[in-house]
Amino acid sequence: MVDSILSEIMLIGLLGIGSQWLSWRYRMPAIVVMAVAGLLAGPIGQVIQPEQDFGELYEPIISIAVAIILFEGSLNLDLKEIRGLGRPVLRIVTIGAFLSWLLGSLAAHYVAGLSWVVSFVIGGLFIVTGPTVILPLLRQSKLKPRPAKILKWEGIIADPIGALLAVFAFEFILFFTNDAFDNSALLSFFLGAVFAIVLGLLLGKGIGWMFENGNVPEFLKSPVVFTVVIICFTVADELARETGLLSVTAMGMTLANSKIASIEDMRHFKENISLLLLSAIFVMLTASLDRSTLFQIFRPEIIGFVILMLFIVRPLSIFLSTINTELTKAEKLLVGWIAPRGIVALTVSSYFASVLLEEGFEDAAIVISLTFALVFFTVVAHGFSIGPLAKRLNLAVESRPGVLIAGSNRFTFALAAFLKDLNVPVMITDSSWNRLRKPRRAGLPFHHGELLSEQTEYLLDITPYSYLIAATEFDAYNALVCTTFVPEFGRNNVFRISIEEEEVDHVKDLANTIGGRVLFSKNNSLEDVIDKIDNGYVFRKTNITEKYDYEQYTQKREADTVQLFALKPSDEITFFTDEGERSVENGDVIVSLSPPGKEIGQIREKLVKQRNNDTDSEDASKNRNEQE
């Protein structure tokens, strides 16, 4: 074991963020990697034991972290997002949740062998999926908007509902089975749930009012929200156990649907904090399990219960609850399969296991093992299957990374047409209908509207696109577009084409963190590449091989050639900039904007060859006539 708490915290952070990096690097489900890392460091390797080492601080740390993660997820629940999806989402989180609770409880009783009391308690708990497991899966799988939004909304809303259902089942059963239990306990639970919702709404409204009226400076907005989230969760949870999650969800949704100008800054801050907390907490939870829990998950009744939850309970509850909705069979099948359980199930189950044991329900001893078995198997099964299943059902966007282009002009039109010929998803956006005339006539994908408008978030699906090129005639606008979309695309995947230095609004004096990377070269401005298109320059592909490597290509290419990007065998695109060395390997395809000389020469050769063939044919015909 590690010698100090400080070293343990360091190791937890390293394992969590290291797991996130490995999952990104090798395209594996992040939750699976984190679970394996926690198991190796905890019950298997005995390197760390967070629950034992942190003592009384362990449970509050986990609870507050879960509250922040859930708040960050609910901060994205803008009601505009579910236009046309309100009915299936409402059905799933109400009728679907009830059916899942009922069927899961029956499976726990008849298959896992638990008493009715314990079965109904964990049956309510197991309806949760949650943002801690759903959001990482959605990021990795690139689902189409409709199923992605349904899974996201269900995961975030069902999290507090599942915890409340478990508490309700526990309180309700004790009310009817325990003579010493009176009406006040059950009434206090309902009043606590109502208070939690009202508290979240009021705090959300209060924060929004303070921000809009300038009562909080910009540099304090994110810390203030962070602190208020903890207050919201703690006050509600102290008054009625497990209602804190409901309170922070109500607060997050209130803020998400209030027109606060700085809401995006809060979202980005919360996303970073949530990612760090999610990584650390999942490692801590799995590392805190003991070996006996791991051995118990392979008991036949537990395996049977997990199989029923995977293949019967979840699909049946989704199909029954979405009857007569606009969801397609493929969407029902995908949503009915994807239901990984995560942090909320693990944390709340440990609480109920101890409470149920105190009340004399000895079969509650296997609740933690049962929960971990369901969490681990669902995370692995759904984590590795969501991508292939979505592609098979045609519910995933095209696998090849796409390019989103801001600004329609002669160069971007030619570039988009060439990318389309390469089967690279591409879209041109512009606020001018007139400037989009050529893309419209050519059948290229386009979006008419202001890219920086709030409405664009709901009207334009950017999921298929991994790269952004800002190529309008205004450098400052290009910089603003790149800066705005850095969180979505990543700093290395947003580019702008430079403008002539004589322009007043260039951004060369702005900080390096603003504006995106300059595409191609600072010497190749937007005006230059447009002039080249007007002068007949053409897009040319060059295969880089062992016999014809990149060095030979650079030596033999024409002097005025503009190297645009390299298309990798993995379908990734490496756009060329002046920053760093250009990574070109054998097997890559270099795309360049080249002088038309070679093409003109080839056309002339074809014409000369065609004329010679015609002349030979005429001579042969004359000879045949003379012989006759």
- pLDDT tens digits along 234-257: 999 888 776 887 888 889 888 877
- Rounded-to-integer distance, Cα 214 and Cα 148, Å: 36
* CATH at 408: 3.40.50.720
**In this structure, what token pair is assigned to residue 386?**
């969501």
Residue 612 lies in domain? 597-628
The answer to the question of residue 50 being in a domain is no
C-beta atoms surrounding 370 within 10 Å: 26
Is the pLDDT score of 453 beyond 80?
no
More confident residue, 89 or 460: 89
Final residue before a domain boundary, out of 360, 392, 424: 392
Work out the average pLDDT over 443-468: 79
- pLDDT tens digits along 493-532: 899 888 765 444 444 555 444 567 888 777 788 888 899 8
Q: What is the largest CA-CA distance in the chain?
A: 124
- pLDDT tens digits along 149-161: 888 888 877 766 7
Is the pLDDT score of 10 beyond 90?
yes
Check residue 571 and give left, alpha or beta (phi > 0: left; psi -120 to 50: alpha).
left
Final residue before a domain boundary, out of 392, 411, 428: 392
Final residue before a domain boundary, out of 332, 357, 392: 392
Same domain membership, residue 628 and residue 556: no
Query: Is residue 56 very low, low, confident or very high in pLDDT (cuts 50, 70, 90)?
Result: confident
Closest CA to 556 of 598, 601, 587: 598
Contact 379, 133 (CB under 8 A): yes
DSSP states of 288-309: T--HHHHHHTTSHHHHHHHHHI
- Rounded-to-integer distance, Cα 365 and Cα 296, Å: 11
* 225 residue type, one letter: V
pLDDT given at position 368:
85
pLDDT given at position 489:
82
Same domain membership, residue 493 and residue 546: yes
- Rounded-to-integer distance, Cα 107 and Cα 467, Å: 47
More confident residue, 621 or 495: 495
pLDDT given at position 304:
94
Work out the average pLDDT over 78-95: 76
For the chain, the straight-line distance linking the first and the last C-alpha, in angstroms and rounded, comes to 104
Same domain membership, residue 411 and residue 358: no
Q: Which residue has the tokens 């440990």?
A: 350
Same domain membership, residue 382 and residue 411: no
pLDDT given at position 503:
46
Provide the domain count of the chain: 3
Work out the average pLDDT over 424-444: 91
Same domain membership, residue 182 and residue 83: yes
* 8 residue type, one letter: E
Work out the average pLDDT over 403-414: 92
- pLDDT tens digits along 302-343: 999 999 999 999 999 999 999 988 889 999 999 999 988 877
The answer to the question of residue 582 being in a domain is yes
Contact 128, 151 (CB under 8 A): no
- Rounded-to-integer distance, Cα 53 and Cα 547, Å: 60
Same domain membership, residue 282 and residue 427: no
Q: What is the mean pLDDT of the chain?
A: 81
- pLDDT tens digits along 166-219: 777 776 766 666 655 566 766 777 788 889 889 999 999 998 888 888 888 878
- pLDDT tens digits along 534-555: 888 889 888 888 888 888 888 8
Same domain membership, residue 413 and residue 287: no
Same domain membership, residue 591 and residue 606: no
The answer to the question of residue 603 being in a domain is yes
- Rounded-to-integer distance, Cα 367 and Cα 119, Å: 10
Same domain membership, residue 466 and residue 426: yes
* CATH at 36: 1.20.1530.20
More confident residue, 627 or 383: 383
The answer to the question of residue 49 being in a domain is no
C-beta atoms surrounding 324 within 10 Å: 7
More confident residue, 509 or 474: 474
The answer to the question of residue 88 being in a domain is yes
The answer to the question of residue 52 being in a domain is no
Length of the chain (residues): 628
Same domain membership, residue 357 and residue 329: yes
Same domain membership, residue 568 and residue 451: yes
Same domain membership, residue 375 and residue 407: no
Contact 592, 557 (CB under 8 A): yes
pLDDT given at position 504:
45
